[in-house]
Amino acid sequence: PANAYLRAPGSPAAVIAHRGASSAAPENTLVAQEIARRAGADWIENDVQPSADGTPFILHDSTVDRTTNGTGSIRSLTSAQLKALDAGSWFAPHYAGTRIPTLAEQLADLRTRGGNLLLEIKGAHTRDQVAKIVAVIREQQMTGRVFVQSFDVPSLQYSYELAPELPIGLLRSTLDADPVALAGQLHLTAYNPAGSALLTRPALVGDLHRAGVAVMAWTIDSAAQWRSLDQLGVDGIITNRPAELAGWISAG
Ligand code: G3P
Ligand code: CA
């Protein structure tokens, strides 16, 4: 079947808001998601990890230390403990009281208000932990609006086995010798490299596209690199500055 995530001829790259509008609001929160949505982001990118009691929560780091008023590994804290934390004050006093969202809350918000989710399964997950993520996506009836990505190959394979209807993308910091072959082996819908790495091999986007594989590059905040990646034909650009990228794209 055709890959619906490939950029149509003449259409621009998708704007993907990295951790929401993370330069304007506390990352990976509902307020960051809402600001990104209003700024014209096509997708919100964020990171999912399980609490101690197995609930998928939205957090980037393996600990809550940097982005909340608490301490400790997310995987050692219960849902109740995570929900008691302030995930906004570290960014600015104005955001005091902002909470770490669960995946279910985040998807419910997107379902109601509009928007798509590029969901990074962060770190290693067991099959049961990925099954819980899939269950939440299905409960929230968001299957057609979620794209799963990960650096962790087993997590992607669990997702594909449990929910082949969910598209999967492989995150890479450096390029593989043969990304096209790897994409075939892993049933990838997208190959998502660091933008700086991708720019060292300009022919790769065309090679992947001819194989029916989409490309989303991360995390790019400068207009010079937006231009270079756009010229390569990437399908999506992941950025901390979604309002500026949306403006740059609409200015043509
Ligand atoms: O979406 C790709 C990018 O988010 C990967 O890096 O550390 O920001 O999750 P990181
Ligand atoms: Ca991420």
Mean pLDDT score, 235-239: 98
Ligand 1 pocket test, pick from 46, 67, 171 with the greatest ligand atom count within 8 Å of Cβ, gives 171
Q: Is residue 3 part of a domain?
A: no
Q: Domain with 198 in it: what CATH number? A: 3.20.20.190
Q: Which residue has the tokens 């609490």?
A: 51
Query: How many CB atoms neighbour CB 209 within 10 A?
Result: 18
Please count the structural domains in the chain.
Answer: 1
Could you tell me the end-to-end alpha-carbon distance of the chain, in angstroms, rounded to an integer? 31
Q: Is residue 106 part of a domain?
A: yes
Measured in Å, residue 218 CA sits from the centre of ligand 1 at 7
Q: Is residue 187 part of a domain?
A: yes
Q: Is residue 74 part of a domain?
A: no
Mean pLDDT score, 154-183: 98
Residues 133 and 103: beta-carbon distance below 8 Å: yes
Annotate 129-160 with DSSP letters as a single string: HHHHHHHHHHHTT-GGGEEEEES-HHHHHHHH
What protein residues have CB closer than 5 angstroms to ion ligand 2? Answer: 47, 120
Q: Which of ligand 1's atoms lies nearest the C-alpha of 149? A: 1
Confidence bin at 18 (pLDDT 50/70/90)? very high
207: helix, strand or coil: helix
Q: Is residue 86 part of a domain?
A: no
Torsion of CA 98, 99, 105, 107, to 10 degrees: 70
pLDDT at residue 252 in the model: 84
What ipTM did this prediction achieve?
0.98
What residues does 195 pair with on adjacent strands?
Answer: none
Model pLDDT for residues 50-109, shown as the tens digit of each residue: 999 999 999 999 999 999 999 999 999 999 999 999 999 999 999 999 999 999 999 999
Cα–Cα distance measured from residue 125 to residue 138, given in angstroms and rounded to the nearest whole number = 18
The residue segments making up the domain with residue 105 are 14-62+101-250
State the average pLDDT for the chain: 97
67: helix, strand or coil: coil
pTM of the predicted structure, to 2 decimals: 0.98
Q: Is residue 93 part of a domain?
A: no
Ligand 1 pocket test, pick from 62, 74, 120, 220 with the greatest ligand atom count within 8 Å of Cβ, gives 120
Q: Is residue 95 part of a domain?
A: no
Q: Is residue 45 part of a domain?
A: yes
